[in-house]
Each structure stands twice: as structure tokens, then as C-alpha cells.
A and B are shown apart, each in its own frame.
Chain A
């Protein structure tokens, strides 16, 4: 049985704070930072937004785009590192607000920035095993960086949702295969009661992000006998704008294959939403027959690689709100307003 993406939705909050505004507060050189990170502004949640509301908005779009009856959603997984509660699932509130009913498989997932793609694997596997006909896999975050920390320039808010289903439903893209590459790596963590994450500085690069993305992607290509030139578009997790460009080049992909996915340049790193938002943006302009490869990365550490083949049905889908519409619709905040939005001042 073929499994595939039936529909997708994305959401980015309207608020932005610029690298210049943050750097000004901490006496840093904004231009240098923006050049190093390839990030000149990031998205910030509204005062009444959190992972639950972002996950809901992305999911609702995914359902509305194909007028999908929420009662037919058989599984729903929300991946995030900023679930509003320590104990009480986000997923049930999202499902209740969507009108999913009571007969669905669900859980909240956490694996730093790859919890969203982990959800896509779980839903795909539920569908493959015929325990579910459809399911929503959602990655959403309102990421926090400690004031003054390097992460403050990139930790952003946003999310995307993918409605995955069996071939009883029309697919806009089939899911060819998926793999994971995982190890125990202490590059980034947040303690049980900690508000902000800690990261092992330079350790976050080579033995963490690059090793796992490289490992998962090369394993996937070898397993399926693909080469980089088989793909029209590629998406790598985007902790900043520099890392995905570097890893793409190292793996033999061109800037042209990568460019559509780079939401990070405009909104920063949306953690569990990052690679999924990249995929949504690629699908916004994909053509029938396009081949897409995606590799996520979550600290701790692991990477998930998928590939997709776009079908003719994509053309019917390209009418609604796009990721670019959200990128362009924005309100700039001062640092003080930003601090209020993310709760560093109350």
C-alpha cells in the first residue's frame, strides 16, 4: 500500500523582532551576527499563542484545504519542546478544538527539534500497519533563548501539520521511505524545571548537527539507491541559515535544490516546526513529479530522513494561504515588547 501526504498546513505568528534590536540591547554587532547566522529577524508568538494554538492553526489549515472531516482523523501527534504543560497533553486540546472526536491514537512527542518529523514517522507507520487510515503529524514550538544568549537571535515560533493517509485518499505527495540515525549526544538540553536550554557551544556543530544529518541522509540515499541529483528540492533542519547550507554542500546538493526550504532566513529556528515548515514551503511551489528529500535534526541527538514524490493533485492545493504569506504578514516589536511576549517581563 502506498502512503502519502493528503494535505498540509503551516502557521507563523505575526510578530517579529530583529537581530539588530536584540543585539542593540546586549551591545553586540548586529551586522556581524546576522551575517554569521543568516538570520536578520525571527518570529515571536502573540501574547495568547503557544504550542497548542500554533499546532491547532496549522492542523486546521491542513484539514480545511481539502475539506477533510475531522472525525476521520485516526491519529494525532504533536511534537514540540515547548508543550505548555509539563504534565497534560497538548494533543488532546488540539484534537478537541479540531473536532476529531474520541477514537484516535495520540501522544505528545519531545525530541528537541525533530519531534515533528518523529510524529510523521509514527503516523506513517500507523497508516502502513492499517491501524489508522489517516493521521495528523504536527511540529510546533514557541522556542525560548535565554536573554543575552546566542540562541536568543534564532529561537522562534511557528509550526506545520501534515495529514498523512492510506491510498484510500488522494495524495499530493507519496512518502517513498523514511529512516532514522540516532545517538546519545549531549549537545543541547533543558532541565526538568529549567526555563531556558543549555548548549555545549561549538559541540553543537560537528559531532551533533552535521554528524547526524550526514549520517541519516547518506544512509537513506544508499539504502534506496538514490543520489543527490535525483531530487528537485531538499530540506535540512535550520538552527540558523548557515548550517543547512553547509551540510547541503557537503552532501553534494546545490543551493538551487535547497533555497525554497530556507524559511530560517526570514523567521529563525522554529525548532520542531523548522524542517516541517521548510517542507510546507517547498510544497507551496512544487510541481507534479518533483522529488523532495527532508532530513530533520533534534539535539540529543537524532535525524530523520524522508523522501516524497509529488503527484498531479498538488496543483489543486496551491490556492490557499502560503508559508510566504505568513512570512510577509508581520508586526515588528521593540525589545521591551518582545520581552513581554516571551514572558521575560510580566
Chain B
């Protein structure tokens, strides 16, 4: 899948830093950012930097992946409830012998998402299991 370098660049703030939106009217949080509230329709939304910690809401282990992630299989993807934000989907990295469970604490890390050879590299937030 070929992605535009410019389209990626427009989303740096969201992808690099967990920048989402909050609706000032109904207080709903969104990630990635939105221009109007999907819940109540208000256009009174503001940027909000979410905390980098949360817990696993649900997860699954991927054995058959899109081509660009084949080198990483098997790997975990999860829905993560951010401590002060919405539920977002992301990869859980560096899982060794640990058994994942719902409610497990995770924290955000910054990792390479795609790009090999002559392509531009893309980076973004993924999650790692909290140790202590």
C-alpha cells in the first residue's frame, strides 16, 4: 500500500503525540482529531493531548497480517482505554512470555510504523506493557 508523504505529515501531531480532540459541548473525546463532534454535531471542538497511559480493553494476536507487517507476526493488536481519553486501537510491542489480559496496564511508546529501502519512514505511537 503506497501512502503519500504529505498525507502522513498532516497527521504527525496525532500520530506522534496522541493528540486528539475534545468536544467542549458534550465532553466526548476523539482520536484521531476531528473537526466536529461525531456524537452531538457541535463544531466547538478543541485539541487535547491525551495521557500516555491506559489499559487493555480487548486484544488479539495476529498471525496473518497485511504484507507490510509480515516480518512482525505473530504480534498483538489491542483496543486500549486511555486514562483520560477514548478507546483507541494500537499494536502492543515487546511482548515476551507475559500473558496479556483485559485491564492490563500499558504505556505509549514511539516506534517505526512503516518504510523500507528508499521509502520515507513513518513513525507513530504503539503501546508496551507497564512494568511497575
Residues of chain A whose beta carbon lies under 8 Å from any beta carbon of chain B: 13-14, 46-50, 52-53, 56-57, 60, 84-85, 93, 96-97, 99, 321, 325, 329-331, 340, 346
Residues of chain B whose beta carbon lies under 8 Å from any beta carbon of chain A: 12, 16-17, 49, 71-72, 93-94, 96-97, 109-113, 121, 123, 126, 131-132
Apart from A52-B121, A53-B109, A329-B131: 11 A-B pairs, beta carbons within 8 A: A13-B94, A46-B94, A46-B111, A47-B72, A49-B111, A52-B123, A53-B110, A53-B111, A93-B123, A97-B17, A325-B131
Q: How many A-B residue pairs have CB under 8 A?
A: 54
15 cross-chain CB contacts under 8 A: A46-B94, A46-B111, A49-B111, A49-B112, A53-B109, A53-B112, A56-B110, A57-B109, A57-B110, A93-B16, A97-B16, A97-B17, A99-B17, A321-B132, A330-B96
Contact with B12, one of A13, A46, A96 (Cβ below 8 angstroms): A96
- Residues of B near A97 (CB, < 8 A) are 16-17, 110, 123
- Residues of A near B132 (CB, < 8 A) are 321, 325
Contact B71 A346 (CB under 8 A): yes
- Residues of A near B49 (CB, < 8 A) are 99
- Residues of A near B112 (CB, < 8 A) are 48-50, 52-53
- Residues of B near A329 (CB, < 8 A) are 131
Q: Smallest CB-CB separation from B125: which chain A residue?
A: A97
Shortest CB-to-CB span from B115 to chain A, Å, is 9
Q: Once bound together, how far apart are the Cα atoms of A46 and B113, in whole Å?
A: 12
Shortest CB-to-CB span from B29 to chain A, Å, is 19
Q: Once bound together, how far apart are the Cα atoms of A50 and B122, in whole Å?
A: 12
Q: Smallest CB-CB separation from B114: which chain A residue?
A: A48
**Contact flag A46-B93 (CB < 8 Å), given A53-B109, A53-B111, A97-B123:** yes
Instruction: Across the A-B interface, give the 4 residue pairs with the lowest CB-CB distance, nearest first.
Output: A331-B96, A97-B16, A48-B111, A48-B112
Q: Once bound together, how far apart are the Cα atoms of A62 and B93, in whole Å?
A: 22
Shortest CB-to-CB span from B92 to chain A, Å, is 12
Q: Once bound together, how far apart are the Cα atoms of A330 and B131, in whole Å?
A: 12
**Contact flag A48-B17 (CB < 8 Å), given A53-B109, A53-B111, A346-B71:** no
Contact with B16, one of A14, A46, A50, A96 (Cβ below 8 angstroms): A96
- Residues of B near A13 (CB, < 8 A) are 94
